[in-house]
Amino acid sequence: MMKIFKFFEFAYLAIMCFFTYQAYEEWGKEGSRSILYLCFAGAAIFMYFFKRNFRKRFEANNREN
């Protein structure tokens, strides 16, 4: 089960890299969505840290029991 949690943590990092790249590509274009992509990248990095914290608490709980 922990391997699945770790996989999704790193999937959020991959998503963050993708949206950062998209924002970079669209930065100078007229009517671009670069700010939207940067918001998605920020949400992905937030989810990475949230899921990592959740997984560590879950592991600590399982060790205690």
Q: Are 47 and 14 in contact (CB under 8 A)?
A: no
pTM of the model: 0.84
User: Does the pLDDT value for residue 41 go beyond 90?
Assistant: yes
pLDDT tier at 31, thresholds 50, 70, 90: confident
Domain positions in the chain: 2-64
Q: Are 21 and 36 in contact (CB under 8 A)?
A: no
Q: What CA–CA distance (Å, rounded) separates 27 from 36? A: 11
